[in-house]
Amino acid sequence: GVMEKLGLGPEVLLHENPRLIYARLTGFGQTGKYAKSAGHDINYVALSGVLSKLGRKGENPYAPLNLLADFAGGGVMCALGIIIALYERTVSGKGQVVDASMVEGLAYLSSFLWKSQNLGLWNRPRGENLLDSGAPFYETYKTSDGKFMAVGAIEPQFYDQLIKGLGLDSNKLPSQLSFSDWPEMKKLFASIFAQKTQSEWCSIFDQTDACVTPVLSFDDAPLHQHNKQRSSFIKNDQEEISPRPAPLLSRTPAVPSFKRDPFIGEHTEEILLEYGFTQQEIAKLYSEKVIESNKLKANL
């Protein structure tokens, strides 16, 4: 209801421009019991059902930062909704309202979890399944220098290469999918990974299909050879590093800005002037705290 209070609700703006795509991105959506309630990523992940799947055996569920609901189920799905509405407009000539709920966006994003419940992938308690740290071949392991390796050797042919790289004999090991042996296999793998540095393990598993990669820190990721070869990270004029825009388009790739990120409110006045607001109107918006300024001041 925030936009309605400003007199800028969809009914008003769509009346002015019936072709307008009006996107509303919220945690709980525009209707329902929680529609007007405050919340954060952890609450939306919880309500979607996904949080119940995240966490190790015997531990509380944990929220993976604020990536799932805010950015994936929220921002990305809202952007997709806008694109879909724009495409539909080419047929109907009409705009519409996009009601992007982070709860629903994440729930839809997790359709794989819902659709695969009867495939035996998630029929065990949390932390004991194939992809939730239950399997010894889908896990992270600490190296002798305190770093970590990520293992994702699900398919048999990849698992064989993992076993070979670890210096083990597959004929002397239990079956890959012997659930009862997974805890002991994890201990065995952990003891072996702890004997070499991350760099040493990379020299063993690089250029193989064992699905074993280093767990890179933010400092290390831009320096990794693969990421450097693809220019996956960029540096701005303040020497700050961030990911390059993705995905990479062949004909019209995104051209990233190498300037520092603007401060909130830094260009507010400039933009309003471009749109025809007078200085008096802008001053009134400042006084009513509708907008705020954050202009850089010289340090003299």
List 15, 40, 220, 226, catalytic entry: 40
In the residue annotation, 70 being an active-site residue is answered as yes
The token pair that represents 250 in the structure block: 């062949």
- CA dihedral (80, 86, 87, 91) positive or negative: positive
Cβ neighbours for 133, distance < 8 A, ≥ 6 positions apart: 56, 57, 127, 139
How far is CA 174 from each of CA 59, 123, 181, 189, 251, rounded to the nearest angstrom? 27, 21, 7, 13, 50
Contacts by residues 29-32 (CB-CB < 8 Å, ≥ 24 positions apart) = 29/99, 29/100, 29/101, 29/103, 29/104, 30/99, 30/101, 31/99
Is the CB of residue 133 less than 8 Å from the CB of residue 61? no
Q: Exactly one of 15, 41, 70, 224 is catalytic; which is it?
A: 70
Active site residues: 40, 70
